Amino acid sequence: MGRITVRRPVLRLSASGPPVRRPDTLAAEEPLEIRVAGKPLTITMRTPGHDFDLVAGFLAAEGVVGRAGEIAAMRYCADTEEQNTLDVLLSPGVPPPDDSMTRAFTTTSACGVCGKSSIEALRADRPYEVAADPVRLTPAVLAAMPGRLREAQRVFDRTGGLHAAGLFDAEGELLAVREDVGRHNAVDKVVGWALREERLPLTGTVLMVSGRASFELTQKAMTAGVPVLAAVSAPSSLAVDLAEDAGMTLVGFLRGETMNVYAGAERIAL
């Protein structure tokens, strides 16, 4: 797994037996500095791997790019031996990020915009209109997705410490899966893959996440043109507000054969 996982000693305790010292496999977490034309934009904590997808997805979510052709090149900076700095060169004519977007702080899995005023801001800046997406899904197709996503989580099997995001089509076929210590990073990696494959907007798809559905994840799905967001855990109230406002379908507590539909129930074929 290379830098995706690391080995660390651990003391295993039991209430009924002697302590045991043994090595354990952990999910790696390292900083990634994102630069645009040499200018620092942000630093995010991530699991190394699929960094180009992560950066492309992050730039798409921020509205910096909307298609693969707007990114001329991406490269790791030669002055960083650990490959923890990635510089993006935008294509001619693509405006650089506004100075107000520059994030001079470390982002985490809890970062992101918040507040109902953010919904008003997003309403005026939506690249795709997901409300018009006619995709229809059956409960059976949705119910099969968590198991298929779990089967594809190779690093989680070794560490138990990663989030996952999977992109499915309306028939339940898994199109792409990415893992990361941060929920938002896993989604950015999937969206970045789609952008680099020139698949945006993600019409007729379902984005499945292994944790809860936050406002930020809903915003990232909406920005990529995803009509259906599904999560194995609960959504936040603001995520439901955004899904309703955008015309998205939001499914939570997708476990076993049951699920809760919080918005956009008209897309579920009963």
List the catalytic residue out of 1, 6, 94, 111: 111
Neighbours of 39 (CB within 10 A): 12
CA 182 vs. chain centroid, Å, equals 8
Distance, CA of 214 to CA of 158 (rounded, Å): 26
Distance, CA of 115 to CA of 270 (rounded, Å): 34
**Catalytic residue list contains 77:** no
Q: What torsion do the CA atoms of 140, 253, 58, 49 make, to the nearest 10 degrees?
A: -80
Give the C-alpha distances (Å, rounded to integers) separating 28 from 34, 82, 158. 18, 13, 12
Q: Is 110 exposed, middle or buried (0-12, 13-18, 19+ CB in 10 A)?
A: exposed
Give the C-alpha distances (Å, rounded to integers) separating 215 from 125, 158, 269. 16, 29, 26
User: Which residues are catalytically annotated?
Assistant: 111
